[in-house]
Chain A
Amino acid sequence: MKFFEYLLKIDRRIIYIVMGVLVIIPLVKPLGLGVSSGPRAKTLFDAVDSIPAGKTLLLSVDFDPSSMPELYPMLAALMRHAFAKDVKVLLCGLWVTGAGLADKAVTEIPPEYGKKYGDDVVYLGWKAGIDAVILGMGENIRNVFPTDYYGHPLESLAMMQSVQRLRDIPMAVAISAGTPGYTDWLNFAQSRYGLKLGAGVTAVSAADAYPYLQTGQLTGLLAGMKGGAEYEVLIQKNEYSKAYMPAVAAMDSQSLAHVVILLLVIIGNVAYFATRKRGA
């Protein structure tokens, strides 16, 4: 019994150290568990895959650096998929602190496929207003973004000649860390303008997205870092990309972390009930 009482009183910093070490080890020495893709990621992959060459995929970068490990790999994988299929990519954002991350993606990824800014990819930037931004884009993108993030007038960008409003875009994927995010795109872009919408979300809000998947309002879902890893695996399997897969590399750590949490809950409960029984 004393053992269980000791367990209950263990210093939290010891738990932190154990957690930290067990997360670091698989990053340095991978366990090789492998990643397989789930049905939701496959649905989104197939939808993006079916966009005809020359058409545009809209990616809404609705996250900030706090969600970068979960959502940036999704953004990168989606862009790689689009470029491999010669689909143009249009980016915008509803989170001000996500602007730098979208800019990073636009700088790093297009050169891998020989894609040029203005012809194959455009980043519109961030605007205040959330629903006003989405509704404005539904009528005329130039009314909302007269210039792109870098100050170029939209008329001067070749890609934007055929994209005037949301109805000119076959599909959008909202990569969201919360609000504003995919629910705003659902409420204002999908319901009003019929925009086909997929979502990439942090794992925290993934469970909340399932009602929209069931009704077909969302076409596919990437949930957390695992969702990013699934998409990375899909684009590698289909030979759309040979790039480093950061989300896949993190999955061994993720697995071990989950096992650790599970064991902590079980040990905590065993110790609690054992000491409680004794107390009774």
Chain B
Amino acid sequence: MHVSTDILTWTAVILTLGIFSFLWKDNPFYKFCEHLFVGVSLGYFISLTWYNAVYPDLFRPLFVQPLSEVSLGNKLLLIIPLLLGLCYFCRFIPRVSWLVRFPMAFVLGWGAGVTIPAVFQTSIIKQMQGTFLTPGIFARWDVFLWAIVSFVGVICSVFYFFFSREHKGALKLASETGIVFLMVGFGASFGYTVMARMSLLIGRFQFLLRDWLGMIR
């Protein structure tokens, strides 16, 4: 065992144990760590947004780079997103707070417009193609069987979410079959979620045992 003497490692350890202390009960040390995390996260976000987004994409080409590098036309075009971005500040001035709708409208309209065909292609067309029974499923008996089971599962699960009609008769049978598939799907997700949460805990313990206490390599 070789305990670290690095002050930064000890800082990380103290903050880690501060968050873990919540497991015993809520306490001022945990609350301090929690509020510190929120403030530091936002400060980090601000710093990276300036250096990675605002400065290279807007400030530098508009105000720093000379006309030999960025033409006047391109500079003038950049005023539009600058004005739209500045409208966000109007949110905090009650008299002109309605101006925040302009950048929001631009972002929402653009986002909705590019998303619709992309999502249609990826999540509807391609997924429907994957559901259809193709000649390839006859390659082997088990491929054929599981393709039929998947096809039935998709159809019945979709029927479960069809609430425009009362689930009676054939619709009820399909819906109840769909529930079976959905429960297996949620069970699989739960099993994987357990794995995810445990992994995160193991990662923290690896840090404490390796970097702090030197008990593992």
Contact = CB atoms under 8 A, between A and B. Distances in A.
* Chains A and B come from one and the same complex: yes
A208 B193 CA distance: 12
A237 interface: no
B203 A23 contact: no
Interface of B is mostly: helix
A69 B217 CA distance: 16
Interface string B188-216: 11001111101111111110010000011
Interface string A137-150: 00000000011010
Contacts of B130: 211, 214-215
B92 interface: no
Contacts, number: 137
Contact of A204 (B48, B192, B204, B215): B192
A187 B195 contact: no
Contacts of B203: 68-70, 225, 250
A7 interface: no
B204 A69 contact: yes
Given A203-B195, A225-B195, A254-B199, A27 B23 contact: no
B163 interface: no
A27 B194 contact: no
B129 A215 contact: yes
Interface stretch (A121-129, A158-166, A270-278): A121-129
B216 A126 contact: no
A246 B118 contact: no
Given A149-B52, A224-B192, A28 B199 contact: no
Nearest to A192: B118
B127 interface: yes
A131 B126 CA distance: 20
Given A149-B52, A254-B198, A24 B193 contact: no
Interface of A: 13, 16, 20, 23-24, 27-28, 66-70, 96-97, 99, 125-129, 131-132, 135, 146-147, 149, 183, 186-188, 190-192, 202-204, 206-208, 211, 214-215, 217, 223-226, 244, 246, 249-250, 253-254, 257-258, 261
